[in-house]
C-alpha cells in the first residue's frame, strides 16, 4: 500500500482534520507538482499552497462537506506552486481514520492542460477569426461586464463604425482583397486604441470600440476625428492603393440601462452621421441622464 501511495503518478496529500489543517504526509507526485521537498513542508499548514484564503467560501463549503458527508469529488481548486504561479487542480477528498487518527486524504489532479484548452476554446469562441479582435458575442460580453462594473463617477462610451466604400472594394476587387482590408482596419484600430479601449467586429464591415470615460474627461470630437484619419489612411495591397471612409456614431452614456441600450444609441448615431454624407462622418453625443432622449453635449 505504501508503494502504491508513494509511486503513484497522481498527487496524494494526507492532512489533519482540524483547523488549521497540517500536512501529515504527501507523495512524490505532490512534491513534484508544487516544486517542494518533504523537509520544506513537513508539519506546515496546508494553506502553504492555497491560492486563496483558507477561510474562503469555496474552501469552507468543501470542509463542511467533509465534516458532514465525509467526502467530495472533483472540485476545481487553484493552488500555488512554490515559484508563485497558479496550478489549476481537480481535487477529490475523503475523511477517514488511519492508525486511530482522523485524517483527510486528497487526490489532486493537475488540471493545467484542461484549463488551458478551455480558455483557448473560450477565446476562439469570442474572437473574430479574420481580424483577431473580439467578435460580436465577445464584444457584447465585454460591454455587459463594463456596464455591470461601471463606477458612479464614470460613463461608458461606445463608438460604432461602418466603413464607407468597402462594399465597392469587395465587389470590384474580390473577397480576398476585402478580407485583407478588414484585417488592416482591425489592426489599425488596435494600434490606435493602444489599451485605452476594447475593439470588436460586429459583423461585415462594422466595428465598435468600448471605452471608459472619467466624469471629468468627456471625449471631444477631435479625438474621433484623429482616430478616423488613422483608420482611413490609404491601404496599399500589391499594386493597388485602396481608399476607405467611415461613418461613426459615438454614444457616451452616464447610465446605460443595458448593452442593447448603448449599442442602439451608438448605431442610431452612426446612421445619422452616414445620412449627413461625406467620406468621413462622425456623430458624438453625451447622454448625461438615463433618459435616452437627452442629447446634451452634441459633437
Q: Comparing C-alpha atoms, which of 226, 239, 263 is closest to residue 177?
A: 239
Q: What's the length of the chain?
A: 299
- Position 36 in a domain: yes
pLDDT of residue 30: 96
Q: Given this model, what pLDDT does residue 244 score?
A: 95
The total number of structural domains in the chain stands at 2
Looking at residue 11, its pLDDT comes to: 96
For residue 85, report the phi and psi dihedrals to the nearest 5 degrees: -75, 155
Q: What is the pLDDT of residue 214?
A: 83
Residue 186 placed within a domain:
yes
Q: What is the pLDDT of residue 196?
A: 84
pLDDT at 153: 85
pLDDT at 46 over 50: yes
**What is the structure's pLDDT at 200?**
96
* H or E stretch covering 106: strand 101-110
Give the HSE-up count for residue 137: Cα atoms under 13 Å, Cβ half-sphere. Answer: 8
Provide mean pLDDT across the span 153-182.
Answer: 94
> Which cell goes with 223?
479625438
The whole-angstrom separation of Cα 112 and Cα 114 is 6
End position of a domain, from candidates 115, 134, 152:
115
**How sure is the predictor about 84, in pLDDT bands with cuts at 50, 70 and 90?**
very high
Query: Which residue among 57, 82, 115 closes a domain?
Result: 115
Supply the range of the domain harboring residue 254. 126-287
Q: Which helix (H) or strand (E) holds 120?
A: helix 112-125
Residue 292 lies in a domain: no
Residue 175 makes CB contacts below 8 A (sequence gap 6+) with none
Beta-strand (E) ranges in 193-275?
198-203, 206-214, 235-237, 240-242, 245-253
- The reply to whether 130 and 252 lie within a common domain is yes
CB 71 within 8 A of CB 94: yes
110 shares its domain with 160: no
Stated as kind and residue range, the H or E segment containing 154 is strand 154-164
Q: Domain of 217: which CATH number?
A: 3.30.70.270
For residue 295, what pLDDT band results from cuts at 50, 70 and 90? very low
Segment among 33-42, 46-55, 168-177, 214-223 with least mean pLDDT: 214-223
pLDDT given for residue 218 in this prediction: 80
Where does the pLDDT of residue 122 fall: very low under 50, low under 70, confident under 90, or very high at 90 and above? confident
Q: What is the pLDDT of residues 238-248, one digit of tens each?
A: 889 999 999 99
pLDDT band at 60 (very low <50, low <70, confident <90, very high): very high
The yes-or-no verdict on residue 116 having pLDDT over 80 is yes
Q: What are phi and psi of 52, to 5 degrees?
A: -120, 175
Task: State the CB neighbour count (10 A cutoff) for residue 193.
Answer: 17
- Given this model, what pLDDT does residue 246 score? 97
Are residues 100 and 142 located together in one domain of the fold? no
pLDDT tens per residue, range 256-279: 888 999 999 999 999 999 998 899
Asked if the structure places residue 89 within a domain, the reply is yes
Q: From residue 229, how far is each of 35, 135, 143 by CA, in Å? A: 53, 24, 25
Residues 68-80, buried b or exposed e (16+ Cβ, 10 A)? Answer: eeeebeebebebb
CATH number for the domain including 65?
Answer: 3.30.450.20
Task: Kindly tell me if the per-residue pLDDT of 136 is higher than 80.
Answer: yes
What value does the mean pLDDT of the chain take? 91
pLDDT of residue 290: 54
Classify residue 295: in a domain, yes or no: no
Please indicate, yes or no, whether residues 274 and 139 belong to a single structural domain of this protein: yes
pLDDT of residue 127: 95
Question: Which residues are catalytically annotated?
Answer: 205
Task: Return the closest-CA partner of residue 11 out of 23, 19, 21.
Answer: 23
When mean pLDDT is compared across 72-86, 242-256, 267-281, 283-297, the lowest value belongs to 283-297
Rounded CA-CA distance 232/192 in Å is 12
Query: Does residue 293 sit within a domain?
Result: no
CA distance 153 to 134: 27
Amino acid at each position: 500500500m505504501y508503494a502504491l501511495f508513494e509511486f503513484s503518478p497522481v498527487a496524494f496529500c494526507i492532512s489533519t482534520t482540524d483547523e488549521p489543517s497540517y500536512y501529515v504526509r504527501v507523495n512524490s507526485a505532490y512534491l513534484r507538482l508544487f516544486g517542494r521537498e518533504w523537509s520544506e513542508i513537513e508539519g506546515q499548514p496546508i494553506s502553504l499552497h492555497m491560492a486563496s484564503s483558507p477561510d474562503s467560501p469555496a474552501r469552507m463549503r468543501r470542509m463542511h462537506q467533509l465534516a458532514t458527508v465525509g467526502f467530495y469529488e472533483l472540485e476545481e481548486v487553484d493552488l500555488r506552486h512554490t515559484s508563485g504561479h497558479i496550478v489549476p487542480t481537480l481535487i477529490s477528498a475523503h475523511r477517514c481514520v488511519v492508525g486511530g487518527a482522523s485524517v483527510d486524504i486528497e487526490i489532486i489532479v493537475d488540471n493545467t492542460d484542461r484549463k488551458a484548452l478551455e480558455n483557448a476554446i473560450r477565446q476562439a469562441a469570442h474572437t473574430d477569426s479574420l481580424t483577431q479582435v473580439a467578435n460580436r458575442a465577445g464584444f457584447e460580453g465585454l460591454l455587459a461586464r463594463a456596464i455591470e462594473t461601471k463606477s458612479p463617477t464614470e460613463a461608458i462610451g461606445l463608438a460604432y463604425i461602418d466603413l464607407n466604400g468597402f462594399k465597392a472594394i469587395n465587389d470590384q476587387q474580390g473577397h480576398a482583397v476585402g478580407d485583407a482590408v478588414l484585417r488592416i482596419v482591425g489592426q489599425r484600430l488596435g494600434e490606435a486604441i493602444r489599451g485605452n479601449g476594447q475593439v470588436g467586429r460586429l459583423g461585415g464591415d462594422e466595428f465598435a470600440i468600448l471605452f471608459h470615460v472619467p466624469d471629468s474627461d468627456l471625449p471631444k470630437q477631435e479625438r474621433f476625428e484623429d482616430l478616423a484619419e488613422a483608420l482611413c489612411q490609404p491601404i496599399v495591397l500589391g499594386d493597388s492603393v485602396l481608399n476607405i471612409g467611415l461613418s461613426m456614431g459615438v454614444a457616451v452614456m452616464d447610465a446605460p440601462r443595458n448593452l442593447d441600450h448603448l449599442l442602439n444609441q451608438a448605431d442610431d448615431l452612426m446612421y445619422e452621421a452616414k445620412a449627413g454624407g461625406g467620406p468621413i462622418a462622425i456623430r458624438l453625443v453625451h447622454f448625461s441622464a438615463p433618459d435616452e432622449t437627452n442629447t446634451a453635449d452634441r459633437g
